[in-house]
């Protein structure tokens, strides 16, 4: 049986999410703007999902949440709008982003840079976490946006968003947070959070990929990225919405926030047991201290063991993990964790990550730990660096 | 952009069976000790190439026969991907019973052919070609050291992948590289922080990939006078260099695939004009060398094809 430990990228669809989606896929297909009863059925599905997302995130009804096609679209919408609103018009000239953001944020930042905008990259400290005070080094009244993810999708590092939000509020600079890896992992309360834009994506929440949402605080405005908007549900995005995906996302967000406290405790326990076994392996290193890491993630490195080879060996044992440093498939636009936390540079191509979900079991963790041990031992049996040890 | 640009056929499941097999059950990995070499009446030489920092490092262990100077045993330790492992294992197999001089002549085509399942299907996706060049570079560094050929340390162009200037220039010529993407395919340079690609990325560097590519391509164009294709003269009227090129192309097109299918290969050692005849001296490689049909059926087939495709007065002489 497969042991799936790549849950920070894509997750298995939950049975309850599937149940929420099924009626839409099987029968409720009316256009949201149609006056007939088919339209009414769709509107009911839409409103239910919307209410669930508002409630789960503790968003005020004065704020706006629009559904999108996923995290990348939500992120792009914020950056493109910032560009059109502030940079292009010359009103502001600076954007600040974390140096270890997701690919869509990094690429958007690079785009702004190519358009003549000054982009500052916030460094992370030796724990892999953005230091809030560093925002003060760069922020000015001419800063158009600060974008820092709530949780690092590779390392699981939890960034101090509250403190960053306070600084942004002092300068009246909008703060964007990518919460793709935070929802269902840590507590999120948008009341008085100071966050102006929040990205949500379905694929990490046991719902199908291809749906996401963007939270917009009252008073902040955005320009549509996809035109054809008709107002209402489509106020910021043209084209009929993916209603089945939205029904799934609504259910998934509700499940994630309802079960957060007890479910994540279970996941944390499983993760910790795996972490303990890995720490016992000679020449291993775990990135980001325990207390600063989301409960489902474990990013580590083994000296003298190539990431892709280790993934390959684990895959042969039906264990699916991830690595941020497999050539040529990694996110090379953001700074590598090894460089960011100033670890031994020889570990750069030796990182491997395990992201758990509520579907993992104790037995799976035991099997995974055994497989890792065996694979590391095997690969080190003909590793050049092993001769020095 | 095209369909191939949006396809996802570059991952493990698309690797040929041979690569999967060599990656999963390598036969030549490990080390050789002085005692092992002594048993074979050989001298042990150890060569270290690459670095963990740049994603691949190989240490080659060669036991070299004291009298004949041939590699009697070859092993390696490796930090690298499964594809690296497959290529290194195949290379170790190819090195056996060869002199360092012969090893230095193993080229990209040969090693890559040996990794194929089917002669018409490349062993590795384009984006992983750097795996083969890495292993070949290690072989070349090792054989040069044994032969006492000294190479000047060339400056590093891409710090992330450890690619050096002279290697890059050589690859651009050898493989006819035309774009930055292809440089990445063959060397993995420019794939990571991207700062070495061009000055527009904002970091000051001594060398940029786009500038090197432009200058080498310009040199190549000047040298060839804008025409590098095979001459369209009849074979008999070609000069010896043109003949060599025509034979090389005919072998690639009609013969090599046939040999590789059975785990063998061949190389042209020399082409000589002998009166009316053209003599082609060849050497069999891999499974072909020592095969009973190498001097009968296979030889007649090779000669027959070349006679038919090029000239009836061709003679093929295996050495």
Considering only residues A170 and B263, tell me which one the structure prediction assigns the higher pLDDT.
A170
Provide the mean pLDDT of chain B. 89
Token pair 């005020």 in the structure block, residue: A60
Run of H or E including A213: strand A212-216
Task: Report yes or no on B4 lying in a domain.
Answer: no
The CATH number of the domain holding residue B38 is 3.90.1010.10
Distance from CA of B16 to the nearest CA of A (A): 15
Same domain, B134 and B166: no
pLDDT band at B293 (very low <50, low <70, confident <90, very high): confident
Locate A202 and state its tokens. Answer: 């379905």
- Same domain, yes or no, for B21 and B124? yes
User: Nearest by CB to B80, which of A306, A332, A345?
Assistant: A306
- List Cα–Cα distances, B190 to A108, B45, B130, B183, B205, in angstroms: 20, 33, 12, 8, 13
Residues in chain A within 8 Å Cβ distance of B133: none
* Chain A residues with beta carbon closer than 8 angstroms to that of B23: 312
Let me know whether B139 and B79 are in one domain: yes
Task: Tell me, yes or no, whether B140 and B54 share the same domain.
Answer: yes
Please give the residue of chain B at the shortest CA–CA distance from A111: B201
Chain B CB contacts of A117 under 8 Å are none
Asked whether residue B220 falls in the same domain as residue B241, the answer is: no
Whether the predicted pLDDT of A387 surpasses 70:
no
Range of weakest confidence among B73-77, B104-108, B208-212, B243-247: B243-247
Q: How far apart are CA B66 and CA B57, in angstroms?
A: 28
Q: Which residues contact A376 (CB under 8 A, 6 or more apart)?
A: A281, A284, A302, A305, A310
Q: Report the alpha-carbon distance of residue B89 to residue B78 in Å, rounded.
A: 10
Nearest neighbour of B52 by CB, restricted to A316, A328, A385: A385
The angle subtended at Cα A116 by Cα A113 and Cα A117, nearest 5°, is 60
What pLDDT does residue A265 have?
Answer: 92
Chain A residues with CB under 8 Å of B84 CB are: 306
CB contacts of A99 in chain B (<8 Å) are none
Domains of chain A: 3-10+260-387 (3.90.1150.10), 15-258 (3.40.640.10)
Instruction: Return the bridge partners of B77, or none.
Output: B59
Residue B2 in any domain: the answer is no
B59 min Cα distance to partner chain A (Å): 6
B-chain residues near A382 (CB < 8 A): 26, 29-31, 76-78
Nearest CA in chain A to B82: A309
Strand-pair partners of A356: none
Q: What is the ipTM of this complex?
A: 0.91
**Is residue B240 domain-resident?**
yes
Looking at the fold, whether B117 and B190 belong to one and the same domain comes out as no
Query: Do B140 and B161 lie in a common domain?
Result: no
pLDDT band of A364, cuts 50, 70, 90:
very high
The per-residue pLDDT for range A99-136, each reduced to its tens digit, is 999 999 999 999 999 999 999 999 999 999 999 999 99
Do you know the residue count of chain B? 319
Residue B229 lies in a domain: no
Q: What is the mean pLDDT of residues B266-280?
A: 86
pLDDT tens readout for residues A365-378 = 999 999 999 999 99
pLDDT number for residue A139: 96
Tokens found for residue A194 = 């100071």
Does the CB of A317 have a partner CB in chain B at under 8 Å?
Answer: no
Q: What is the phi/psi pair of residue A236, to 5°?
A: -120, 10
> pLDDT at residue A389 above 60?
no
Name the residue with tokens 């096609």: A69
- Are B72 and B63 within 8 A, CB to CB? yes
- Higher pLDDT: B219 or B231? It is B219
Beta bridge partners of B265: B285
CB A296 within 8 A of CB A355: yes
Cα–Cα distance between B162 and B73 in angstroms, integer?
A: 29
A155 falls in which pLDDT band (50, 70, 90)? very high
Does one domain contain both B119 and B69? yes
Pairs across A and B, CB distance < 8 A: 75
Residue B164 inside a domain? The answer is: yes
What's the average model confidence in pLDDT over A184-212?
A: 94
Strand pairing partners for A151?
A158
Nearest CA in chain A to B30: A382
Q: Which of A8-12, B2-6, B78-82 has the lowest mean pLDDT?
A: B2-6
Looking at chain A, the number of H-run helices and the number of E-run strands are 11, 12
pLDDT at B103 over 60: yes
Q: Name the strands in the sheet holding B277-286, side by side, starting at the edge strand that comes first in the sequence.
A: B264-274, B277-286, B314-318
Q: Count Cβ neighbours within 10 Å for each residue of A348-360 and write b for 16 or more, e otherwise.
A: bbbbbbbbbbbeb
pTM more than 0.90: no
Q: What pLDDT is stored for residue A1 in this prediction?
A: 85
Answer yes or no: is B3 within a domain.
no
Q: What is the DSSP letter of A342?
A: T
Is the pLDDT at B32 greater than 90? The verdict is yes
Q: What is the pLDDT of residue A28?
A: 81
CB-CB contact of B268 with B279 (8 Å):
no
Mean pLDDT score across all residues of chain A: 94
Lowest mean pLDDT among A238-242, A307-311, B191-195: B191-195
Q: Report pLDDT digits (tens) over A46-59.
A: 999 999 999 999 99
Mean pLDDT score, A172-196? 94
User: Residue B72: how many CB atoms within 10 A of its CB?
Assistant: 20
Same domain for B120 and B41: yes
The Cα A171–Cα B189 span in angstroms is: 42
Query: Which residues are CB-contacts of B144 (< 8 A; sequence separation ≥ 6)?
Result: B100, B104, B150, B151
> Which run of H or E residues covers position A158?
none
Q: Which of B58-72, B95-109, B213-227 has the lowest mean pLDDT?
A: B213-227
Please tell me whether the peptide bond between A328 and the residue prior to it is cis, using omega within 30 degrees of 0.
yes
pLDDT band at B226 (very low <50, low <70, confident <90, very high): low
Q: Given a cut of 90, is residue A42 above it in pLDDT?
A: yes
DSSP single-letter state for residue B152: P
Residue in A348, A350, A382 closest to B29 by CB: A382
Provide, as residue numbers in chain B, all residues whose Cβ is less than 8 Å from the Cβ of A309.
80-82, 85
Cα A79 off chain centre by: 17
Of A305, A309, A381, the CB nearest to B82: A309
B55 lies in some domain: yes
- Of the residues B52, B76, B198, the best mutation for testing chain A's interface (the one with the most A CB atoms within 10 Å of its CB) is B52
Q: Is the pLDDT of residue A252 over 60?
A: yes
Residue A384 contacts B, CB cutoff 8 Å: yes
Q: Looking at residue B120, what is its pLDDT?
A: 87
Q: Report the C-alpha gap between B249 and B243 in whole angstroms.
A: 10
Residue B119 lies in a domain: yes
Contacts of A290 (CB under 8 A, 6+ apart): A272, A275
pLDDT at position B289: 81
pLDDT the model gives residue B230 = 63
Tokens 């992983």 sit on residue: B128
How many CB atoms are closer than 10 A to CB B97?
A: 14
On whether both B65 and B164 belong to a single domain, the answer is no
Answer yes or no: are the C-beta atoms of A222 and A201 closer than 8 Å.
no
Q: Cβ distance A117 to A62 under 8 Å?
A: no
Residues in chain B whose beta carbon is closer than 8 A to a beta carbon of chain A? 12, 23-24, 26, 29-31, 48, 51-53, 55-59, 76-82, 84-85, 127, 184, 188, 191-194
Domain encompassing residue B124: 11-147
Return the CATH number at B281: 3.30.300.130
Q: Which of B147, B172, B191 is a domain's end point?
A: B147
HSE-CB at B57 with a 13 A cutoff on CA atoms is 21
DSSP H or E run through B280: strand B277-286
A20-37 burial code (b ≥16 CB/10 A, e <16)? bbeebeeebebebeeeee
Structural domain total, chain B: 3
Confidence band of B2 (pLDDT split at 50, 70, 90) = confident
What pLDDT sits at residue B256?
A: 84
- Contact status, residue A338 vs residue A301, Cβ threshold 8 Å: yes
Would you call B59 and A384 a contact, using CB atoms and an 8 Å cutoff? Answer: yes
Q: Which helix (H) or strand (E) holds B299?
A: helix B297-309
Cα–Cα distance for residue pair B163/A325, rounded to 1 Å:
18
> Which residues contact residue A150 at a Cβ distance below 8 angstroms, ignoring those fewer than 6 apart?
A158, A159, A161, A177, A178, A179, A181, A182, A186, A188
- pLDDT at A300 exceeding the cut of 90: yes
CB atoms < 10 A from the CB of A291, how many? 7
Quick: pLDDT tens for B113-130: 999 998 888 999 888 999
Region B72-80 average pLDDT: 95
A306 touches chain B (CB under 8 A): yes
Domain boundary among B147, B174, B199: B147
CA distances from B267 to B109, B176, B261, B294 (A): 11, 21, 16, 13
| Secondary structure class of A178 (helix, strand, coil) | strand
Which chain A residue is nearest to residue B59, measuring alpha carbons? Answer: A384
Q: Does residue B126 share a domain with residue B22?
A: yes
How would DSSP label each residue in A85-133? IIITTTS--EEEEETT--HHHHHHHHHHHHTT-EEEEEPB-TTS-B-TH
pLDDT at A388: 52
The CATH number of the domain holding residue B192 is 1.10.10
| DSSP structure class, residue B106 | -
Q: Are residues B143 and B161 in the same domain?
A: no
Residue of A nearest to B195 (CA): A333
Percent of chain A with pLDDT over 70: 98
Between A229 and A387, residue with greater pLDDT? A229
Asked if the model's pLDDT at residue A386 lies above 80, the reply is no
Dist CA A156 CA A246 (whole Å): 26
Instruction: Specify whether the CB–CB gap between A310 and A378 falls below 8 A.
Output: no
Instruction: Give the number of other Cβ atoms within 10 Å of residue A1's Cβ.
Output: 7
């Amino acid at each position: 049986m497969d042991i799936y430990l790549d849950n920070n990228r894509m997750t298995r669809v939950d049975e309850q999410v599937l149940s929420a989606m099924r009626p839409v896929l099987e029968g409720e297909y009316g256009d949201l703007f149609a006056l007939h009863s088919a339209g009414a059925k769709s509107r009911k599905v839409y409103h239910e999902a919307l209410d669930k997302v508002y409630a789960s995130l503790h968003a005020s009804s004065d704020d706006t949440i629009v559904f999108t096609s996923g995290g990348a679209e939500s992120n792009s919408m914020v950056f493109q709008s910032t560009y059109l609103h502030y940079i292009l018009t010359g009103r502001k000239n600076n954007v600040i982003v974390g140096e270890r953001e997701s690919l869509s944020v990094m690429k958007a930042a690079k785009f702004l840079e190519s358009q003549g905008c000054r982009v500052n990259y916030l460094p992370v400290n030796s724990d892999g976490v953005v230091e809030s005070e560093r925002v003060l080094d760069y922020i000015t009244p001419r800063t158009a946006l600060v974008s820092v993810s709530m949780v690092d999708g590779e390392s699981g590092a939890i960034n101090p968003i509250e403190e960053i939000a306070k600084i942004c509020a002092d300068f009246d600079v909008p703060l964007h947070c990518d919460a793709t890896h935070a929802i269902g992992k840590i507590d999120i309360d948008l009341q008085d959070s100071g966050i102006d834009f929040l990205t949500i994506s379905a694929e990490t929440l046991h719902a199908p990929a291809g749906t996401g949402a963007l939270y917009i605080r009252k008073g902040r405005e955005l320009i549509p990225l996809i035109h054809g908007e008709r107002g209402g549900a489509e106020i910021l995005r043209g084209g009929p919405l993916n209603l089945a995906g939205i029904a799934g996302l609504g259910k998934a967000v509700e499940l994630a926030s309802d079960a957060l406290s007890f479910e994540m405790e279970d996941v944390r326990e499983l993760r910790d047991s795996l972490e303990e076994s890995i720490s016992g392996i000679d020449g291993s290193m775990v990135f980001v201290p325990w207390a600063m890491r989301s409960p489902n993630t474990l990013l580590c490195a083994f000296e003298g063991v190539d990431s892709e080879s280790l993934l390959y060996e684990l895959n042969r044992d039906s264990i699916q993990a991830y690595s941020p440093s497999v050539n040529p498939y990694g996110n090379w636009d953001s700074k590598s964790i090894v460089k960011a936390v100033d670890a031994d540079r020889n570990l750069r191509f030796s990182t491997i990550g395990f992201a758990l979900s509520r579907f993992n079991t104790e037995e799976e963790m035991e099997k995974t730990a055994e497989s890792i041990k065996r694979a590391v031992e095997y690969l080190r049996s003909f590793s050049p660096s092993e001769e020095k040890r | 952009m095209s369909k191939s640009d949006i396809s996802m056929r570059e991952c493990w499941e698309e690797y040929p069976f041979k690569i999967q097999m060599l990656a999963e059950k390598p036969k030549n990995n490990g080390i050789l000790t002085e005692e092992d070499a002594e048993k074979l009446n050989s001298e042990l030489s150890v060569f270290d190439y690459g670095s963990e920092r740049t994603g691949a490092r190989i240490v080659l262990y060669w036991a070299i026969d004291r009298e004949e100077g041939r590699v009697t045993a070859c092993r390696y330790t490796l930090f690298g991907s499964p594809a690296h492992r497959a290529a290194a294992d195949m290379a170790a197999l190819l090195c056996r019973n060869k002199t360092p001089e012969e090893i230095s002549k193993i080229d990209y085509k040969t090693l890559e052919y040996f990794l194929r399942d089917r002669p018409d299907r490349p062993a590795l996706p384009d984006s992983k070609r750097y795996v083969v060049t890495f292993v070949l570079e290690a072989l070349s560094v090792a054989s040069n050291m044994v032969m006492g050929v000294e190479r000047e340390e060339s400056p590093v162009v891409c710090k992330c992948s450890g690619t050096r200037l002279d290697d890059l220039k050589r690859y651009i010529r050898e493989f006819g590289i035309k774009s930055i993407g292809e440089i990445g395919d063959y060397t993995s340079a420019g794939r990571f922080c991207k700062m070495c690609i061009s000055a527009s990325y904002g970091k000051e560097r001594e060398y940029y990939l786009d500038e090197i590519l432009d200058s080498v391509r310009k040199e190549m164009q000047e040298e060839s006078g804008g025409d590098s294709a095979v001459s369209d003269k009849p074979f008999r009227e070609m000069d010896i260099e043109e003949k060599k090129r025509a034979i090389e192309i005919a072998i690639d097109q009609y013969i090599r695939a046939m040999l590789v299918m059975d785990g063998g290969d061949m190389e042209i050692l020399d082409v000589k004009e002998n009166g009316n005849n053209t003599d082609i001296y060849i050497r069999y490689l891999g499974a072909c060398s020592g095969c009973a049909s190498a001097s009968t059926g296979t030889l007649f087939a090779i000669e027959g094809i070349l006679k038919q495709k090029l000239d009836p007065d061709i003679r093929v002489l295996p050495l």
